[in-house]
Structure 1
Amino acid sequence: MSLAEVVDLFCGVGALSHGLLRSGMEIRAGYDTDRRCKHAFETNNQSKFFCRDVARLEADEISSHFSGKLPTVLAGCAPCQPFSTYKHRYGEDPRWDLVESFARLAVNVRPDFVTMENVPSLLKYKDGQVFRRFKELIEDAGYEVHWQVARCEDYGVPQRRRRLVVIASRHGLPPKLEVTHSDPLTVRQAIGALPPTSAGRSEPSDRLHVSAALSNKNMERMRASKPGGTWRDWPFELRAACHQKSTGSTYSGVYARMEWDKPSPTMTTQCYGFGNGRFGHPEQDRAISLREAAILQSFPADYSFLPEDEAPTFSEVGRWIGNAVPVGLAEAIGASMNHVIETSYDD
């Protein structure tokens, strides 16, 4: 018996939905503008995908997915790029409006719960105006709102990642997310048992266990890299031109290997590239594979991203993985709502 019914906005490949599914909820529908996410969302979440712009959705359409027999959840993760600390041209990106669009839909749909996940810098974006407006709209509609900046490694995600989590309820204040892993999972525990592979090679047993090819120069750099080290460990002649200048000397978090016995760094949309961050394999001379990146985001090892007859592309699958809500964090979000359902919900 499911504990609640969920509609997921900005659903992507379904990571947030999958965590909520694992927490005991039923996923009724997902909406996203990327039609290529349909296979992954539907296959892994036993649900229906709709390729639609959330800003143009009406409350009646969302409400039609709910049966009326269980508590209801409206979930979403509006695109975080406008609020990211990597983004500087804030005023030129209209996607921040989607946070308010999500809040207005929630107010009109009036589900039992509303949950949103985003980057912590949303709290400071436009001097905090966007987040305050979101919170005020939800609270004025009769919800009690809990928010926190969560450490993903506390919830079974083998990765150092901080995310803003908001849970609103019409049936009592949701509790803080309960820590499930006092000892964080490590890179070794997450991907250490995967079969070895090499740069540019795809494993026949799993198309996603593929790592990007390396140029001869980057292969030399990889071999000179130490787990947890930086490009400063290399001979001077291997250093990139920008790193040989004083202006680039502080950028040490690229061209680096992960460490076996620590959580990984934050997975980004370019987590498949050795030069894009600390994404080198701890031991093998290659960047991490797409499958390894997905596992470090706490996707199940058999999560299906594409139909069997389609080969993955690094840019597309990397974007899906990097933009995903870590599944372990999503499951903890579901557990918080379940606590309210089990203790306070009046049916």
Structure 2
Amino acid sequence: MKKLFIDLFSGAGGLSCGLEMSGFKCLLGIDQDKTAIETFKLNHKYAQAIAGDIRKISTESIKELIGNQKVSLICGGPPCQGFSTIGQNNKEDERNFLFWEFVRFVEAFKPNYILMENVTGLLAKKNEHTLKTIIKCFTNLGYTIDVKVLSAHHYGVPEKRRRTIFLGNKFGVANIYPEQLFKNSEKESTNLPLPRTVDWAFRNLCEVNGRVFNHDLDSAQIPNEIEKKRLQFIPEGKSVRYKKDELAYLPKELWFDVDWKNLHEERFREAKLNRLSRNSCSGTINTNRTSYYHPIENRYLTAREAAAIQSFPPDYIFCGSLNQQWRQIGNAVPPLLAKAIGEAILKLDQCKDLMEKTLSIQDVSSIRATAFSYRENVDEHQFIQLKLF
């Protein structure tokens, strides 16, 4: 029988999609974005879905909704920016209440496992108090919590997207993280294959049964004529960020009207005219459809192409306007990353009785030093854990 989970802050359901690929079954998704929940319901037909403010949703009502079914996992990505770093932590701070709602659900349902994802900046030194608070909250509820930064391109996603992943279990053993499946580049001596590419995404994750969803080419056209003219000169995989790029790619009549020497660090803050390369993985897909351009066509990506790069299956349909589709896609956890994490949790579930109990042995500095190490595979007997006091 498949283990059941609840997805808090589910968005369009990228995390749920990947966990179901791994062998879990989704019971419920909750998100305040009504359009994202429409997408979630459309693609998770056997799960319940609630669009609303999680603060106003009682755990009693959820228990009544799902009946006596055992929740094995609670997952989600609550914002954690609002924790105070000076003085006493304020649970009433409106910027961090959603984290406490996550804790409330964990306390009520007592799942065997928890999975929480967040931005990599959460491990920055300035957020040390936040980090300790998160671990302490779950530890007080009886969970062994580990934290690691995972990069999506190591798990079959054709995109370099890094997320902080908290894993917790109620069995007092080290959590297992997925082993790396793809290497970074040809320079690495490992026998692992190279990362999947944008071309792989377009060839494998755009069309299903002769149909392509969310692929409006008209809306992917560039309305600004100067921008479109400039893009015609940008080679595949290139962009303009420095003066040398402008000189290399653009004719003088299409140069940007900027004084390069007076720009901070003599560069654009973000690269402009950023064409993807078919032969490598993409940078992080975000909610702004103008961040990247098609590798060889003079246009933006379509929502389907962005979803393919995020590793969504080609039959995963997004609801709403074009901007709403992009917001859902850009905010999602890549399904293939979630699949790898789900498989690691299920692996732990099978071997937990044979594993030794663990203690908190590392301090925050040690965590920060090792959390961004991507080259080492995660052994099931290794763990990363914070010292709370």
Whether the TM-score (by the shorter chain) exceeds 0.5 is: yes
For the aligned residue pairs, the C-alpha RMSD in angstroms reads: 2.8
Please point out which of 316, 324, 334 is paired with 1:303: 316
| 1:315 maps onto 2:333 in alignment | no
Q: Which amino acid aligns with 2:251?
A: P
| 1:211-260 CA distance string (max 9 Å, x none) | 52212111101101112222222224323335756316412522110111
The corresponding residue for 1:32 is 31
Residues 285-330 of structure 1 show CA distances to partners (whole Å, capped at 9, x for unaligned) of: 1111110000101101121112xxxxx5331111101000110111
Q: Which moved more, 1:237-246 or 1:95-104?
A: 237-246
Identical pairs, percent: 28
**TM-score scaled by length of structure 1:** 0.83
1:219 aligns with 2:218: no
- Give every structure 1 segment of 4 or more consecutive aligned residues whose post-TM-superposition deviation is greater than 6 Å: 80-83, 193-196
Q: 1:179 to 1:283 in 2, by over 3 A?
A: same
Q: Secondary structure at the match of 2:95?
A: helix
Moved more, 151-160 or 210-219: 210-219
Deviation at 1:143, TM superposition (A): 0.7
Is the 2:205–2:314 contact (alpha carbons within 8 Å) kept by the matching residues of 1? no
Counterpart residue identity of residue 187, structure 1: V
- Amino acid in the other structure paired with 2:128: G
2:98 aligns to what? 98
- 2:138 corresponds to which letter in structure 1? I
Q: What letter corresponds to residue 253 of structure 2 in structure 1?
A: E
Is residue 184 of structure 1 aligned with residue 200 of structure 2? no
Farther off after superposition, 20-29 or 226-235: 226-235
Report what 1:309 is aligned to: none
Distance in 1 separating the partners of 2:82 and 2:279: 33
Shift of 1:65: 5.3
**Counterpart residue identity of residue 127, structure 2:** D
C-alpha contact 1:100 1:133 (8 A) present in aligned 2: no
**Residue matched to 2:159:** 159
Shift of 1:120: 0.7
* 2:260 pairs with 1:261: no
TM-score, normalised with respect to structure 2: 0.75
Query: In 1, distance between residues paired with 2:316 and 2:206?
Result: 17
1:208 to 206, 215, 227: 215
* Deviation readout 1:81-109 (Å, 9 max, x if unpaired): 889xxxxxxxxx94333223312331333
- Assess if the C-alpha contact under 8 Å between 2:144 and 2:169 holds in 1: yes
User: What is the CA deviation profile of residues 124-144 of structure 1, one whole-angstrom value per residue up to 9, with x for unaligned ones?
Assistant: 385322222111110111111
What whole-Å deviation, never above 9, does each CA across 1:187-231 have from its counterpart, x for those lacking one? 1111147899xxxxxx99534343522121111011011122222
What CA distance in whole angstroms lies between the structure 2 residues aligned with 1:98 and 1:239? 46
User: Are the equivalent residues in 2 in contact too, given 1:100–1:130 (CA < 8 A)?
Assistant: no
Q: Distance in 2 between matches of 1:326 and 1:336?
A: 16
Is 1:234 matched up with 2:255? no
Moved more, 186-195 or 51-60: 186-195
Which is higher, the Rg of structure 1 or of structure 2? 2
**1:343 Cα shift?**
2.1
Contact 1:103/1:134 (8 A) holds in 2: no
Amino acid corresponding to residue 300 of structure 1 in structure 2? P
| Distance (Å, rounded) in 1 between the aligned partners of 2:56 and 2:252 | 54
Q: Which AA in structure 2 matches 1:258?
A: L
Alignment deviations for residues 37-63 of structure 1 (CA, whole Å, 9 cap, x no partner): 233212212311101222333333344
Equivalence for 1:87 = none
The answer on whether the counterparts of 1:143 and 1:170 sit within 8 Å (CA) in structure 2 is: yes
Does residue 331 (structure 1) correspond to residue 339 (structure 2)? The answer is yes
Say how many residue pairs are matched. Answer: 320
In the superposition, relative to structure 1, how do residues 222 and 114 fare at CA in structure 2: closer, same or farther (>3 Å)? same
Shift of 1:332: 1.2
Counterpart amino acid of 1:206?
A: F
Q: What SS class does the counterpart of residue 220 from structure 2 fall into?
A: coil
Q: CA separation in 1, counterparts of 2:205 and 2:155?
A: 22
